[in-house]
Structure 1
Amino acid sequence: MQSLTQLQLSYDTNPGSIPACLGNLHKLIYLGFHGDKLSGTIPSPIFHNLTDLGTLEINSDKLEGTFMFSALANLSKLKEVDISGRSLEIDTETPVSWFPSFQLSFLSLRYCIINSRNAGRLPTFLWSQRKIKILFLRDAEITGTPPIGLFCNSSLGSLDLRNNSISGLFVVPCRNASYDAYEINLSHNHISGPLPENIHLSFPKLNILRIAGNKLEGRIPPSLGERQLVLLDLSDNHLSGEVPMLLP
């Protein structure tokens, strides 16, 4: 068993929890737990010796307690993390001094309760992730301003922050810069003000833009009609003026 490199446990029929003894499987590259009957907490100590781990998946709405994300700090080969659970809290800010040795390409913390002890703060460690391409944090009780600055120093292509409590202006943070983003979803938050007129310059590869159900005002930038958008959803806002021609 100690030479095992991949392990996936399904809890669709029989109830169970994450075994604490898995920390002895030092050669694991992939570790996954799935199923509606998976319950209990995520035991942080199991990750201390899983230094080869590249992919971690834990998905169940019956998980509970608080998972300290810093438990993954020393997993330098970690590339993909997918954790979800409607009753699961994830604390990414404790201890304050922790710093990740990993560079993620994919992170999904959908349907979790993120940083409830820090007023729903967006995970600070994200600003160190230069290689991240996909970031899914929908339905996670996140607050703060739209984190468009994440595009400045990373290769982020897809950002999903729908159904949170993000407020403030949608601001393009870096002038004369163009980003790799092809999909942005900020629907059903509290984002206000106008859309930037130069949004087309900053996101030349954008295919999908969803900011429905916010408090946007003003006109829709005509330049959006010049993009090869596949989908544009700005419904349920306070926008005015003409809708740009979106078909080439």
Structure 2
Amino acid sequence: MNNLQLELILNEKLSPQLVKDYSPNGLQVEGSEKVKRVVTGVTASLALIDKAVELNADAILVHHGYFWKGEPEPIRGMKGKRIRTLIKNDINLFGYHLPLDIHPDLGNNAELARLLGIKVEGGLEGHPQSVAMYGSLDSPISGKEFEERIEKALNRQPLHISPENVDKIISTVGWCTGGGQDYIELAAQKDLDAFISGEISERTTYVAREQDIHYFSAGHHATERYGIKALGEWLQEEHGLDVIFIDIDNPV
């Protein structure tokens, strides 16, 4: 497959033009015109690039790519080494950030809901491009039981901040994968029982305690593994590419 054709396929699937993002979505570093093997992963770290080189990949497809708003522009140091390695080995880099978070079928939020048994009911921001979602569980469970469910699904123990009513049962849940902890305010306003995200801030603890909502910090990397993996599997099934998912350990 041609690399620009692959970009067109991904753009048609993820509709990046509908989202205001912090980085460019699509082909970020151009490599070989012909793409047969694609390595997918959460972040375009040097470790992932080296693995793609080892596997003779023609392209890397990630959630966290390059050229973020506000980052230094010079291509030097760590950034330079990554990009030199891509160019030297003729490897394309494709990155999709918010479009992959919010995709209703393959996105990080959709995949997290599937893994945790949450029925999606809508976006916390009240529109289709909302990066935070809400839904309900099939049956109410305790905070401890939900903590254990998250740990089993993501293979990572979440940090659980209980509300002052520690015995509050969970029936409704809001969530935003990655660094979406501040959406807990919207979740509390919507009177949800719990909110899940990847990261936690110092202030999040007090919001959870004082606004009567369970909070689960389940890991930025851990909550965002599954969208890029699902997207790669879709590419392989629908378009016949050889796709290999590589999970580079990241405890954050």
TM-score (structure 1 length as normaliser): 0.25
TM-score (structure 2 length as normaliser): 0.25
Q: From the two aligned structures, give the one with the greater helix fraction.
A: 2
**Higher RCO (C-alpha 8 Å, min separation 6):** 2
Q: Which has the larger radius of gyration?
A: 1
